[in-house]
Each structure stands twice: as structure tokens, then as C-alpha cells.
């Protein structure tokens, strides 16, 4: 992160754009930690970066990476990825996991795959391999990318300088974090269902 921040300090938004694009393609860049750190740099009386500009640059960079991956998948195909993907951390094991997600959830895997490290780098390739229509892909990928960038930049902006450390801890305990979030959603859904059921019974 120290080297990445030095690049941003030296080259500004161009470095931020390039890092996000490379991170989506598969180059090992800590995307979420980078964006929360950038978000924390938009706080203060004389912030180093502008929040609105940072959001636009992060979104543009992530979409550039997603489009490169999509067209690579469409042109070179899956055998090429399995053979040479290891050079950019696209190992057969990770490709297998992402392929399982893609077959199970379809294009929603592209939208929500941003939040799952090791999956977001592959779903875009698989969308290209599967010859998903360009505009359909752009809709799902663009929606997910915008929400993803907005989430982590805003988190960094709100929490401030401690945001990168919080995200690093969350990554370390990703399984527990996801399990807690899923449990909360299930509990809230259950109580909402009971409330709706009682309301219908009374009427």
C-alpha cells in the first residue's frame, strides 16, 4: 500500500485509474483497501483528493478492467485462461470457483462478484467466454462496479484514516464477516415475514 500511495501522490488520478483497471484484470492490487484509503484522503479542510473525482476515476478504472476482461474472454476463450491465467493469479482453482458462481447465479455473479476477492477477477472473463450480450453485460457490470466503488470510497470518507485498517481486518476474517452478514439478513427477513404474516392474519 505504501508504494501504491506513493504512485498516487506522484501521478494523481492517472495512477488511481490504472491501479483499479489492473486490479480488476487480475494483477494483485488490494482494491478495497486502496479505495478506502483514497476515501480517507478526501477528508479534511485541504484534502489530497476530491471525493467526486475519485469516485469517477475509480468507477472508470474498474469498468475499464471489466471490459478488458470481458473482451479477452470473448476472443481468447477459456482454454487460454486455464493455460496462461496463472501468470496473473488466475489459477485453475480460482477459475473453477468463479465458474461455479457464474453457472449458479448467472449475471448476478458479475454484479455482486465485486465484493468477493478471487471471484470478481473471473466472472467478467466467463461472461465473455459465454458470449453474453455486450449491453447486458455492461448493465450488470456497471451497476455492480458503481455500488462497489461508492461503498468503499464512502466508507473511507466517513471513517477516515482508520478505514484501511478496518478493511484489512475484515479481509482477514472474510468468512466470519460474510457469515455474520448472512445471519443478520436471515434474522431480519424472518422477523419481517412473521410481521407480515400476522398483519395478513389480522385483516
- Model confidence over 172-184: pLDDT tens digits? 655 565 566 666 7
Higher pLDDT, 146 or 2: 146
For residues 147, 99, 126, 23, the Cα torsion angle rounded to the nearest 10 degrees is 50
- Model confidence over 125-174: pLDDT tens digits? 888 877 888 998 899 889 989 988 988 888 888 876 565 566 666 556 55
Domain-by-domain residue ranges, the chain?
Answer: 1-162
Q: Residue 119 in contact with residue 33, Cβ under 8 Å?
A: no
Distance CA 161, CA 37 (A): 7
Residue among 45, 34, 36 at smallest CA distance from 8: 34
Task: Give 199's contacts (C-beta < 8 A, 6+ positions apart).
Answer: none
Look at the pTM and tell me if it is higher than 0.85: no
Amino acid at each position: 500500500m505504501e508504494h501504491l500511495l506513493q504512485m498516487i501522490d506522484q501521478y494523481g488520478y492517472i495512477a488511481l485509474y490504472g491501479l483499479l483497471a489492473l486490479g480488476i484484470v487480475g494483477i494483485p492490487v488490494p482494491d478495497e483497501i486502496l479505495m478506502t484509503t483514497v476515501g480517507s484522503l478526501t477528508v479534511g479542510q485541504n484534502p489530497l483528493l476530491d471525493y467526486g473525482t475519485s469516485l469517477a476515476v475509480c468507477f472508470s478504472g474498474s469498468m475499464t478492467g471489466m471490459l478488458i476482461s470481458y473482451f479477452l474472454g470473448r476472443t481468447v476463450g477459456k482454454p487460454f485462461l486455464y493455460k496462461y491465467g496463472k501468470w496473473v493469479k488466475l489459477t485453475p482453482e480460482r477459475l473453477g470457483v468463479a465458474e461455479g458462481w457464474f453457472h449458479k447465479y448467472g449475471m448476478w455473479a458479475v454484479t455482486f462478484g465485486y465484493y468477493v476477492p478471487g471471484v470478481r477477477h473471473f466472472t467478467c472473463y466467463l461472461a465473455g467466454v459465454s458470449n453474453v450480450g455486450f449491453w447486458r453485460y455492461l448493465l450488470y457490470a456497471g451497476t455492480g462496479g458503481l455500488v462497489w466503488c461508492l461503498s468503499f470510497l464512502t466508507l473511507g470518507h466517513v471513517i477516515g484514516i482508520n478505514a484501511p485498517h478496518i478493511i484489512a481486518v475484515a479481509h482477514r476474517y472474510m468468512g466470519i464477516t460474510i457469515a455474520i452478514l448472512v445471519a443478520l439478513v436471515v434474522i431480519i427477513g424472518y422477523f419481517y415475514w412473521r410481521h407480515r404474516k400476522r398483519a395478513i392474519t389480522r385483516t
